[in-house]
């Protein structure tokens, strides 16, 4: 369906009237298992000789529609849904990494991702080297012979900075390793990492794709463009896989190797499966993705400009402001907008920030983003609390900044709310 426009694909890709009933909307297949036609059919499914449904930890028809929808919107060959954005990050790395391997990652990431990469993955024998991705030479210098991937966010949390994906992708190409882009903050409406050279895209479905704060979910999209057999770096994909009776995934499934591995081994053995009800909510959300993103961006541009002109505000990080150091990159790579998440520094520091989040009325003080509702959080005392001061500053989440996720309400109401809260906070 790639010849259709984005607004058409966000409604139709992957979906077809239900063959059993003609139901126009995708049914929620709330079932754990699927009846085999006969013993031969069962054997063919287990051998991956025939594609079909066995058990919902692996595949489910509602989730299959969502996978095809997101893969199409991102321009990928296939996708695997999983239980959260964090699960998607592990699922993306899992086929690539063995104990002793590492990944080069940006210092500017979602706070939970910094924790996942700096501590938790060590339990698998993996490690991460953190670098400033605006310094492309540093990204290259951080890689060694055990580096199996490069990981960054397109629009990065919490400052809303924009990554030069083509430049990072060129480094990954040179090193012969995949670039993984977390595209959560941009959504495929504002950024298509695969078109800019990324191999894999991960999302927290929890955010803009569902869009209304009802679901926890994730997805890994594979471009289908990486040659896993070009080197001996990725034996799980290029060599006989002992976890699947010696199947060679790349040889057998070609550009769907990563996707099949993600289902047949990742979901089978790690079990980080999305549930069909959640997939339904996300499918509903995606139907209006472009409309929401347009309004998110329009509102964010107005709120950021208003804050920048306010004497109670020190600075605003929004990359969509003409004054932003990212303005040229935005025009070149993110022409539809710089998203709707950014930080601003309140004169009065930590104390004023805490007062501000306690004084807003329309904005909700929550640890989430990408909701229709406008959200606010003081990262240093919450999402980035586990980090050192140095890590907080490097991530753009220092003690004197507040993070906003601008919703799709009337923008004048949002500005009035911030105005009264700033008055209280800086009184
Ligand atoms: C929320 C988020 C995640 C984690 O997603 P969950 O669904 O909460 O596990 C990862 N990356 C980014 C950029 C996020 O905003």
Q: With a 6 A CB cut-off, is 182 part of the ligand 1 pocket?
A: yes
pLDDT at 2 over 80: no
Quick one: tokens of 136?
């492309």
Same structural domain, 271 and 341: no
Quick one: tokens of 243?
């976890």
Q: Which domain holds residue 51?
A: 6-285
The answer to whether 279 and 217 are in contact (CB under 8 A) is yes
Residue of minimum CA distance from atom 5 in ligand 1: 85
Q: Please report the atom of ligand 1 found closest to the CA of residue 157.
A: 13
The alpha carbon of 244 and the centre of ligand 1 are apart by a number of angstroms equal to: 30
What is the tens place of the pLDDT at every residue in 361-384?
999 999 999 999 999 999 888 888
Q: With a 6 A CB cut-off, is 153 part of the ligand 1 pocket?
A: yes
pLDDT at 79 over 80: yes
Residue of minimum CA distance from atom 1 in ligand 1: 204
Q: Which residues pair with 376 in a beta bridge?
A: 365, 404
Strands 102-106 and 161-162: unpaired
Please report whether residue 47 resides in a domain: yes
Burial 264-277 (b: 16+ CB within 10 A, else e): bbbbbebebbbbbe
Report which of 60, 79, 61 is spatially closest to residue 69, judged by C-alpha positions.
79
What is the tens place of the pLDDT at every residue in 305-329?
999 999 999 999 999 999 999 999 9
| Overall average pLDDT of the 117-134 stretch | 97
Q: How does residue 200 score in pLDDT terms, banded at 50, 70 and 90?
A: very high
Q: Percentage of the chain surpassing pLDDT 70?
A: 100
Best residue for ligand 1 mutational test, from 180, 184, 395 (most atoms within 8 Å of Cβ):
184
CATH (domain of 81): 3.40.640.10
Strands 218-222 and 78-82: antiparallel
Please report whether residue 312 resides in a domain: yes
Q: With a 6 A CB cut-off, is 368 part of the ligand 1 pocket?
A: no
Same structural domain, 248 and 357: no
Same structural domain, 270 and 332: no
Q: With a 6 A CB cut-off, is 113 part of the ligand 1 pocket?
A: yes
The alpha carbon of 85 and the centre of ligand 1 are apart by a number of angstroms equal to: 5
Q: With a 6 A CB cut-off, is 86 part of the ligand 1 pocket?
A: yes
The Cα–Cα gap between 27 and 168 comes to 40
Same structural domain, 334 and 364: yes
Burial 45-84 (b: 16+ CB within 10 A, else e): beeeeeeebeebbbbbbbbbbbbbbbbbbbbbbbbbbbbb
Same structural domain, 305 and 382: yes
Q: Which of these three, 285, 319, 336, is where a domain ends? A: 285
Same structural domain, 271 and 390: no
The alpha carbon of 89 and the centre of ligand 1 are apart by a number of angstroms equal to: 9
Same structural domain, 224 and 366: no
Residue 384's pLDDT is what? Answer: 81
pLDDT at 149 over 70: yes
Please report whether residue 121 resides in a domain: yes
Q: Which of these three, 285, 311, 346, is where a domain ends? A: 285
CATH (domain of 315): 3.90.1150.10
What is the tens place of the pLDDT at every residue in 201-228?
999 999 999 999 999 999 999 999 999 9
Q: With a 6 A CB cut-off, is 207 part of the ligand 1 pocket?
A: yes
Same structural domain, 267 and 301: no
The Cα–Cα gap between 365 and 274 comes to 27
Please report whether residue 170 resides in a domain: yes
């Amino acid at each position: 369906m790639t010849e259709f426009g984005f607004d058409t694909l966000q409604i139709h890709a992957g979906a077809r009237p239900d063959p059993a009933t003609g139901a126009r909307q995708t049914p929620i297949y709330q079932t754990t298992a699927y009846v085999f036609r006969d013993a031969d059919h069962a054997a063919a499914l287990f051998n991956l000789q025939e594609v079909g449904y066995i058990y919902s930890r692996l595949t489910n028809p509602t989730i299959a529609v969502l996978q095809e929808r997101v893969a199409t919107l991102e321009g990928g060959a296939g996708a695997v849904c999983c239980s959260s954005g964090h699960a998607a990050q592990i699922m993306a790395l899992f086929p690539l990494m063995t104990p002793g391997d590492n990944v080069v990652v940006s210092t500017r990431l979602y706070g939970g991702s910094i924790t996942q990469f700096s501590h938790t993955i060590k339990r698998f024998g993996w490690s991460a080297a953190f670098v400033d991705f605006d310094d492309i030479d540093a990204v290259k210098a951080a890689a060694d012979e055990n580096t199996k991937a490069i990981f960054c966010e397109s629009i990065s949390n919490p400052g809303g900075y924009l990554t030069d994906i083509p430049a990072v992708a060129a480094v990954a190409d040179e090193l012969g390793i995949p670039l993984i882009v977390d595209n959560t903050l941009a959504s495929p409406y504002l950024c298509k990492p695969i078109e800019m050279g990324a191999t894999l895209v991960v999302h927290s479905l929890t955010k803009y794709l569902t869009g209304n704060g009802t679901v926890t979910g994730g997805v890994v999209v594979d471009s289908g463009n990486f040659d896993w057999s070009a080197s001996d770096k990725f034996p799980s994909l290029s060599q006989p896989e002992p976890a699947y009776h010696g199947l060679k995934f790349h040889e057998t499934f070609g550009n769907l190797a990563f996707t099949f591995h993600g289902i047949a081994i990742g979901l089978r053995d790690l079990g980080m499966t999305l549930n069909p009800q959640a997939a339904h909510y996300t499918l509903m959300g995606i139907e209006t993705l472009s409309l929401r993103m347009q309004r998110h961006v329009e509102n964010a541009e107005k709120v950021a400009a208003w804050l920048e002109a306010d004497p109670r505000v020190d600075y605003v990080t929004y990359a969509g402001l003409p004054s932003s150091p990212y303005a040229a990159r935005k025009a070149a790579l993110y022409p539809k907008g710089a998203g709707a998440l950014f930080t601003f520094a309140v004169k009065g520091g930590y104390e004023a920030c805490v007062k501000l989040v306690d004084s807003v009325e329309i904005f909700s003080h929550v640890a989430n983003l990408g909701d229709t509702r406008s959200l606010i959080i003081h990262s240093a005392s919450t999402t980035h609390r586990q980090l050192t001061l140095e890590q907080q500053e490097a991530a753009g989440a220092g003690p004197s900044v507040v993070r906003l996720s601008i919703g799709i309400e009337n923008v004048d109401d949002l500005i009035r709310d911030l105005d009264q809260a700033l008055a209280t906070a800086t009184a």
